[in-house]
């Protein structure tokens, strides 16, 4: 069986994964564009969006490895899109266009039911309304021996950490302060939960820290 992991998850120096006011114009919230800026500079990201160029090096290696060996994803509704409350229709199919970068089943946590969406490249979005443990069980069923990646956002990762259901967290810490928004560590006592830092590596535009459960 594979691991349940968080990989290449971007946070600011003060622990914020997103700023306030997420919308179509501000996918990471107002004032938070610098949090994932390291990823946008990599060659992997440029290849993913069909653009030439992009930097190689540690950041690029981290970005590439984060997408390897994954059999299923889990994400929160805020990561899937900016729409809140009941779905007004089924027009919104995510931020990523017709061929999202996942290429495996993706289980989206939500309070509002919606039919599954089959996308190009093997991505299928399934909408899970009966909780995070149900999403994890379904992800394990399809992932087989591969890993399950908890994609975010911060509140989803916090819930899985609090339940001690994540084996490994790999953070990309951007050298910026945000000051407000969605803080990954709010309300968590990671040592009490059995998590400890096992590796720290400097990249070109972020510091990559690995946390594992003992």
pLDDT at 1: 78
Residue ranges in the chain whose pLDDT is less than 50 = none
Q: In the chain, what are the domains?
A: 4-83+100-213 (3.40.430.10)
pLDDT at 104: 98
Q: What is the pLDDT of residues 51-92, one digit of tens each?
A: 999 999 999 999 999 999 999 999 999 899 988 899 999 999
pLDDT at 85: 92
pLDDT at 100: 95
Quick one: tokens of 200?
């720290």
pLDDT at 24: 81
Burial class (CB in 10 A: 0-12, 13-18, 19+), 118: exposed
Quick one: tokens of 58?
């540690």
pLDDT at 214: 81
State the DSSP string of 75-128: EEHHHH-S--SS-S-S----TT-SS-S--SEEEEE-SS----EE-GGG-EEEEE
- How far from each other are the two terminal CA atoms of the chain, in whole angstroms? 18
């Amino acid at each position: 069986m594979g691991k349940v992991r968080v990989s290449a998850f971007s946070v600011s120096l003060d622990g914020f994964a997103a700023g306030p006011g997420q919308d179509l114009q501000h996918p990471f919230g107002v004032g938070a564009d610098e949090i994932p800026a390291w990823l946008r500079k990599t060659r992997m990201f440029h290849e993913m969006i069909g653009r030439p160029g992009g930097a190689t090096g540690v950041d690029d290696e981290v970005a590439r490895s984060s997408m390897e060996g994954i059999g299923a994803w889990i994400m929160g509704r805020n990561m899937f899109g900016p729409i809140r409350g009941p779905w007004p229709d089924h027009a919104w199919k995510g931020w990523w266009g017709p061929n999202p970068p996942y290429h495996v089943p993706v289980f989206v946590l939500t309070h509002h039911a919606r039919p599954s969406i089959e996308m190009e490249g093997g991505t299928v979005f399934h909408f899970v309304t009966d909780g995070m443990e149900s999403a994890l069980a379904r992800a394990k069923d399809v992932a087989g021996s591969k890993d399950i990646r908890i994609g975010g956002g911060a509140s989803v990762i916090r819930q899985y950490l609090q339940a001690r259901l994540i084996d490994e967290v790999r953070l990309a810490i951007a050298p910026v302060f945000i000051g407000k928004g969605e803080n990954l560590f709010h309300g968590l006592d990671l040592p009490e939960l059995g998590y400890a830092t096992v590796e720290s590596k400097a990249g070109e535009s972020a510091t990559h820290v690995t946390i594992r459960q003992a």
